[in-house]
Chains A and B, each alone.
Chain A
Amino acid sequence: MQLKLKVWRQKNAKTNGEFQTYSVTASEHMSFLEMLDVLNEELISKKEDPIAFEHDCREGICGTCNLVIDGRPHGPMQGTTTCQLHMRSFKDGDTIVIEPWRAEAFPIIKDLVVDRSAFDRIIQSGGYISVNTGQAMDGNAIPVEKDLAIKAFDAATCIGCGACVAACPNGSAMLFTAAKVSHLGLLPQGKVEHTKRTRSMVDQMDKEGFGNCSNVGACEVECPKEISIENIARMNRSYVAAVFGSDE
């Protein structure tokens, strides 16, 4: 299949970028990233600068293959990452627009690669449990109510890709932060530090310059792991409890 790509090219954080148009021949069995690999091979053989895009596991769990394809983070498919998107989702002769994540807190490093270290700093501010783990414990040593276990596990599927921020018209990181808060806070081991954790993670999220949630809901639509915004409501509850119920 013959495709036209409009790709955002930007040398570094300081320069202004622009769209460049490329033609590429792809097979419908290729993944989206493989199609970009083919294009980059061609660019390299022509001694041109290949398109910088992030990728790692190529099986939907690392959260790095972050592209906005035709206006949608990770492309048109529901609940998938870009590496899980295949060219059969497109038609011969299509023009595909590829852009990087757009958010103030995610500055562009080069082309389609953005700096998501703001997420790392949110995790560092409280996204952990302060206990010595020692050897791996028996899975059933601490009983957990099934319903809570499912909710915690659903939240734990967050791969930190940042599609929620990319999709949000407010550039808000509430779904990411709420997923982490729920993932840890719903389980007995994480409950101990739950309120303190919520408060420090939300404060760090605000410090990073993310926007304010207005419940648009685009985040949960575009999340490749389909994490629900009910986690945001849970985080709001525990943030208020943390502010009004603590001594600090």
Chain B
Amino acid sequence: MQWILNFLTSSIGKKFVMSFTGLFLISFLIIHLIGNLQLLYSDGGEAFNKYAYFMTSNPLIKTVSIGLYTGILLHAFLGLAIYFKNKKSKGKKYAVSTSANASFAAKQMALLGTLILAFILIHMGDFWFKMKFTDQIIPVDYDGMQVKDLYAQVSTTFSKPFFVGIYILGMIALAFHLWHGFQSAFQTLGLNHKKYTPIIQGLGKIFSILVPAAFALIPILMYLNR
């Protein structure tokens, strides 16, 4: 089994883990966005609250969510470990730095990732933690079904300009992170091809703009319609 450990600690092995967890988190973003768009229904939050109840009570979702938390932690901490290793490998920096050969997003993946991690902590502290571990969120009754009114909590949060700002900033960081990360994951996995790579790069750019923009639209619209 030593060979697995050797692979996972090799430069390419570490990047493979980053790619796989990154692509997994990208797939999560799609599911998360589809669920969240229910916040925009004008039904007083019924669809969203029922969805939130399903997501926190279904045993299959609960199992998958453990994988998700592991994925986030692995991606974040391995990413930071790679950042510090690379900083050491670079050694002294140049007196003249140039942007002629690399994009901002590619060079700042660690910084963007840290911002996203900070955003996730604020985000989960405000919704996930309060939903799962406190009684701060008051239940509502839908035809005899007692469901925590997470929609009300979300509306309260998004009535504060400060939080709307944090969400917008978080999504900007995510957009830049995906701008590089989406196509980079495929390159690391060795999936580079004359015909398909331009398509992957194009899809990555569309994804990195559309998905964070749609996420950011939710707090903006909820703030405007409060």
A: which residues have CB within 8 A of B? 6, 8, 19, 68, 70-72, 76, 97, 99, 102-105, 167-172, 174, 202-203, 205-206, 209-218, 221-222, 229-230, 232-237, 239-240, 243, 248
Contact = CB atoms under 8 A, between A and B. Distances in A.
Contact of A102 (B88, B93, B102): B93
Given A212-B14, A233-B190, A237-B190, A103 B90 contact: yes
Interface of B: 3, 6-7, 10-16, 82, 85-86, 88-98, 100-103, 106-107, 109, 180, 183-184, 187-192, 194, 197
B11 A206 contact: yes
A206 B188 contact: no
A245 to B, nearest CB: 12
A222 B101 contact: yes
Contacts of B103: 216-217
Contact of B89 (A97, A211, A230): A211
Contact of B10 (A97, A169, A206, A217): A206
A106 B82 CA distance: 20
A209 to B, nearest CB: 6
B106 A171 contact: no
A217 B102 contact: yes
Contact of A234 (B93, B96, B192): B192
Contacts of A230: 192, 194, 197
Given A170-B89, A202-B10, 15 more contacts: A71-B96, A97-B95, A99-B96, A104-B88, A170-B90, A202-B11, A211-B90, A212-B89, A213-B188, A214-B184, A215-B188, A216-B103, A217-B102, A229-B192, A230-B192
A205 B30 CA distance: 37
Contacts of A229: 187, 192
A213 B91 CA distance: 15
A169 B102 contact: yes
23 contacts: A19-B95, A72-B100, A97-B96, A102-B92, A169-B90, A171-B91, A202-B11, A202-B12, A211-B11, A211-B85, A212-B14, A212-B82, A213-B188, A215-B187, A217-B101, A222-B101, A229-B187, A230-B194, A234-B192, A236-B15, A236-B189, A240-B190, A243-B3
B94 A212 contact: no
A166 B215 CA distance: 39
In the A-B complex, the 10 residue pairs with the smallest Cβ-Cβ separation, listed nearest first, are A211-B89, A233-B192, A237-B190, A71-B96, A171-B89, A170-B86, A71-B98, A221-B101, A218-B101, A211-B86
A234 B191 CA distance: 8
Contact of B107 (A19, A103, A169): A169
A214 B109 contact: yes
Given A102-B90, A102-B93, A234 B190 contact: yes
A71 B3 CA distance: 40
A172 B190 contact: no
Given A97-B95, A171-B91, A212 B15 contact: yes
Contacts of A234: 190, 192
A236 B12 contact: yes
Nearest to A248: B3
A40 to B, nearest CB: 21
B15 A213 contact: yes
